[in-house]
């Protein structure tokens, strides 16, 4: 009983310290086009202590709600990222607030089929001691923490398109914030890496941004995805909503847009 009580106290003291600890990766995704052989990203140490970091490869599968499921094997049997991807550096130490640029080198296998190949990069901060006492005398629990981003490798002739199929405006009587439910379908042999915007266009021609979802990605393992866009308000003046799904990789490209009257 005494051991259980002590463990409970330690875990309670640890929670605020864990919540304040953080790692970040920029950018939030890496896309390597056909003629490119490398990419790069940066790891930021947002902890208040020195940390040892390591880059690992993991695989995730996306569902129609945007939820990711971790896989034990890679997505495509013809592309094993652990064999064709090299990182420089792969392991390093960062001071508080410091960042490290990591270069990602791709060696595509021979006779690789045209298409898109994806995996995730995970940056892990390793901690040697499970428990550490800070300068105030309080005990904090330190854990191995990590954050991931998708890496997309495109090869040969690729194409993708997307259409906004269904929209539904949801207004709750108890919640002042409305939302727009949007279903988007994808076709082609590559993902759509997009941004979803909801814009109010008044009869006078004025425009106002009401909501936006970045990283609105539809990967190749699914053909449809559902999005929820929180809206700032429902304007009182006459007009309509413009829902636009645009490409975040190719600037200026719009996959699709529709007009919705409230």
Residues 163-176: tens digit of each pLDDT: 999 999 998 777 66
| Structural domain spans, the chain | 2-155, 160-260
Average the pLDDT over each of 25-34, 41-50, 129-138, 251-260 and give the range with the smallest value. Answer: 129-138
Mean pLDDT (whole number) for 132-156: 69
Q: Is 259 helix (H, G, I), strand (E, B) or coil?
A: strand
**Quick check: 210 and 218 in contact, CB under 8 A?**
no
The pLDDT value given to residue 175: 66
Please state which architecture CATH assigns to domain 2-155. Answer: Sandwich (2.60)
Please give the CATH topology (third level) of the domain spanning 160-260.
Immunoglobulin-like (2.60.40)
- Contacts of 153 by beta carbon, 8 Å cutoff, 6+ apart: 32, 79, 106, 108, 116, 117, 118
The pLDDT value given to residue 6: 36
- The pLDDT-based confidence of 127 (bands split at 50, 70, 90) is low
pTM exceeding 0.85: no
Mean pLDDT (whole number) for 14-41: 77
Residues 181-204: tens digit of each pLDDT: 999 999 999 999 999 999 999 998
In 3D, which of 151, 165, 237 has the Cα closest to residue 200? 237
Round to whole Å and give the CA distance between 34 and 130.
44
2-155 and 160-260: identical CATH topology: yes
Round to whole Å and give the CA distance between 49 and 97.
9
- Contacts of 160 by beta carbon, 8 Å cutoff, 6+ apart: 186, 187, 188, 189, 190, 191, 192
Residues 70-88: tens digit of each pLDDT: 999 999 988 999 999 999 9
- Average pLDDT of every residue of the chain: 86
Round to whole Å and give the CA distance between 33 and 67.
25
Round to whole Å and give the CA distance between 256 and 194.
11
- Write the DSSP symbol of residue 28: S
At 3, which helix (H) or strand (E)?
A: helix 2-20
What dihedral do alpha carbons 8, 10, 15, 17 form, nearest 10°? 180
Round to whole Å and give the CA distance between 52 and 86.
19
Percent of the chain at pLDDT exceeding 90: 71
């Amino acid at each position: 009983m005494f051991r259980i009580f002590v463990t409970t106290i330690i875990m309670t003291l640890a929670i605020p310290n864990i919540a304040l600890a953080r790692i970040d990766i920029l950018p939030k995704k890496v896309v390597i086009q056909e003629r490119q052989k490398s990419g790069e990203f940066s790891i930021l140490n947002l902890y208040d202590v020195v940390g040892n970091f390591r880059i690992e490869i993991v695989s995730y599968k996306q569902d129609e709600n945007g939820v990711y499921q971790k896989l034990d094997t890679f997505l495509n049997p013809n592309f094993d990222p652990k064999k064709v991807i090299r990182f420089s550096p792969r392991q390093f130490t960062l001071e508080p607030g410091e960042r490290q640029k990591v270069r990602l080198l791709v060696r595509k296998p021979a006779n690789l089929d045209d298409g898109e190949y994806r995996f995730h990069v995970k940056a892990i901060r390793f901690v040697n001691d499970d428990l550490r006492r800070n300068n105030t005398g309080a005990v904090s629990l330190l854990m191995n923490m990590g954050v991931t981003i998708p890496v997309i490798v495109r090869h040969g002739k690729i194409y993708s398109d997307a259409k906004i199929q269904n929209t539904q405006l949801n207004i709750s009587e108890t919640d002042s914030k409305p939302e727009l439910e949007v279903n988007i379908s994808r076709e082609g042999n590559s993902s759509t890496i997009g941004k979803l915007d909801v814009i109010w266009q008044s009869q006078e021609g004025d425009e106002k941004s009401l909501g936006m979802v970045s990283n609105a990605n539809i990967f190749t393992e699914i053909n449809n995805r559902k999005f929820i866009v929180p809206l700032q308000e429902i304007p009182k003046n006459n007009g309509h909503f413009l829902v636009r799904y645009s490409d975040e990789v190719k600037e200026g490209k719009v996959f699709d847009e529709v007009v919705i009257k409230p």
